[in-house]
Amino acid sequence: MNDTQPIWIRDPQAILADGAERGIVVSQGRIVEKVAAGAVPVTADAIVFDAGTHVVVPGLINTHHHFYQTLTRALPAAMDRELFPWLQALYPVWARLTPEALDLAVTVAMAELLLSGCTTTTDHHYVFPAGLEDAVDIEVAVAKRLGLRVLLTRGSMNLSQRDGGLPPDSVVQDEDTILADSERVVARHHQRGEDAMVQIALAPCSPFSVTTSLMRKTAELAGRLDVRLHTHLAETEDENRFCEDKYGCRPLDYLEQCGWLGARTWLAHGIFFDAAEIQRLAKAKTTISHCACSNQILASGCCPVCEMEAAGVGIGLGVDGSASNDESNLMQEVRAAFLLQRARYGVSRVSHKDALRWATKGSAACIGRPELGEIAVGKAADFALFKLDELRFSGAGDPLAALVLCGAHRADRVMVGGRWAVTDGAIPGLDIADLIRRHNGAARKLQAG
């Protein structure tokens, strides 16, 4: 394909955009036209891609993940546990991560995301055992190989068990090392502007694994470098009790004391905020990544999405770690979020379009990328195209609703920045069978010790 020649994605079966019944035209990585019913493009010499058998949606955006955890899916030692004992079972395994194993884990996670219709993903990597100091660099290299747009977070933990935290000493780093490497990865990898393919954010893991000093200094560094901030917050009642016992306040109060409550920050989970705290989040323009599958598997609770949106809190979706989900399929996460929130709020308050919005425009707001997540002129040419030719879709009347209600899980085509990253349900140049073989081998080795 000639990257300089416009492409008309023509006559889709359905499209999540008004006034684009005959499709969209993309050029130089951007949407340059929406083609209404009965119209033809004004753009000359466009290559035609016939989308007559496809449902087109904006590229899905994943706002919370832990790629390395694909190596510990369905691990017996961690099954049927709540968050804190689940982490305690897994930390010793994750302490054995190697660069080679991480490369495989990241490739599996990113490939699964791409194939599910995800065009932009975040990752929260906070485990840095000896020898894995270049973890973020490894992730950047994989993203470039696969053509996925990423916001990778330089995570951190420095509050180990000996200091009253949860993680063992073997997976934490000292404050100076963390801050120096945070500045290094931003300087080396962070791209600015609407066409950015790789961005970096700073992401101390959680109040129970990071010191107050590191929380505050990370916020100061993010402000100086002008990058975003991310952490887990209000995921469990155990976390609330930890903060009250250790810091004498609730998690959101602690976050504000550390200089985190603001528009630069997006938070994973956000289950246990009270009504007053939700108003404070809205006023600060701090956003939430809703992780429906993980919250159900760990029985953590349910994010009060409707109350948050009513107050003005932005909501995105995250698949969360592959050891608590246990998959990296964002389209399946859309369905899970729809079902969970529909069960909580009823049929009149949550629709399939809400769930798709959370995974697109909502997620784009979470990560500070308003040029993503929407099919509109001037926005990035990031799309997911699904076919409805499986048994699960037979008889469906509304193609867009069918993606959610009938359980779409694999895209046929995915475009990122005007380039096809998935064609005919496959990632060009990636041998999936070989990847599975090598990844399974690495997982067995890691789990065996």
On whether both 132 and 230 belong to a single domain, the answer is yes
Q: So what's the pLDDT on residue 277?
A: 98
Same domain, 356 and 398: no
**Domain-located, residue 116:** yes
- For residues 285 and 155, membership in a common domain is answered with yes
Same domain, 296 and 229: yes
Residues 344 and 386 in one domain: no
Residue 168 is predicted with a pLDDT of: 86
160: helix, strand or coil: coil
Work out the average pLDDT over 201-208.
Answer: 93
Residue 86: inside a domain: yes
Contact 110, 416 (CB under 8 A): no
Same-domain pairing of 102 and 159? yes
Last residue of a domain, one of 319, 346, 366: 366
388: domain range?
A: 7-58+378-422
Among all chains, which residue has been given the structure tokens 């990847």? Answer: 435
* Residue 252 belongs to a domain: yes
Q: What CATH number should be reported for the domain holding residue 176?
A: 3.20.20.140
Place of tokens 């502007």: 193
Percentage of residues in the chain having pLDDT higher than 70: 99
Question: Which residues does residue 34 pair with via DSSP β-bridges, in sequence order?
Answer: 24
CATH of the domain at 393: 2.30.40.10
Q: Confidence class of residue 400 from pLDDT cuts 50, 70 and 90? A: very high
Mean predicted lDDT score pLDDT of the chain: 96
Q: What is the pLDDT of residues 24-39, one digit of tens each?
A: 999 999 999 999 999 9
* 239 in a structural domain: yes
pLDDT at 300 (0 to 100)? 93
Exposed (0-12), middle (13-18) or buried (19+): which is 237, by Cβ within 10 Å? Answer: middle
| 244 and 351 in a common domain | yes
Q: What's the half-sphere exposure (Cβ side, CA atoms, 13 Å) at 350?
A: 23
* Cβ neighbours around 94 below 10 Å, total: 23
pLDDT of residue 1: 46
Integer Cα distance of 337 and 88 in angstroms: 27
What's the confidence (pLDDT) of residue 244? Answer: 93
Give the orientation angle of helix 99-115 with respect to helix 432-448, to 10 degrees: 130
Q: Is residue 428 part of a domain?
A: no
Average pLDDT over residues 234-254: 93
Residue 103 pLDDT more than 90?
yes
Residues 53 and 91 in one domain: no
Integer Cα distance of 221 and 161 in angstroms: 26
Give percent above pLDDT 90 in the chain.
92
Looking at the structure, tell me whether residues 169 and 105 fall in a common domain: yes
- What pLDDT sits at residue 3? 65
Statement to judge: residues 51 and 112 lie in one domain: no
Same domain, 147 and 179: yes
C-alpha closest to that of 140 among 192, 201, 198, 179 = 198
Has residue 295 been placed in a domain?
Answer: yes
pTM: 0.97
Q: Quick one: average pLDDT of 277-303? A: 97
Dihedral of the alpha carbons of 416, 418, 419, 422, in degrees to the nearest 10: 50
**Alpha-carbon dihedral sign for residues 434, 438, 441, 447:** negative
| Helix %, strand %, coil % of the chain (to 5) | 40, 20, 40
For the chain, what is the domain count?
Answer: 2
- Do 29 and 156 lie in one domain? The reply is no
Contact 439, 105 (CB under 8 A): yes
Question: Residue 163: which pLDDT band, with cuts at 50, 70 and 90?
Answer: confident
Task: Tell me whether residue 191 is in a domain.
Answer: yes
From CA 372, how far away is CA 120, in angstroms rounded? 9
Joined tokens for residue 96: 């054995």
Kindly state the helix (H) or strand (E) to which residue 287 belongs, with its residue range.
Answer: strand 287-290
Interval 306-354: pLDDT, tens = 999 999 999 999 999 988 899 999 999 999 999 999 999 999 999 999 9
Is 446 among the domain residues?
no
Give the pLDDT of residue 448.
94
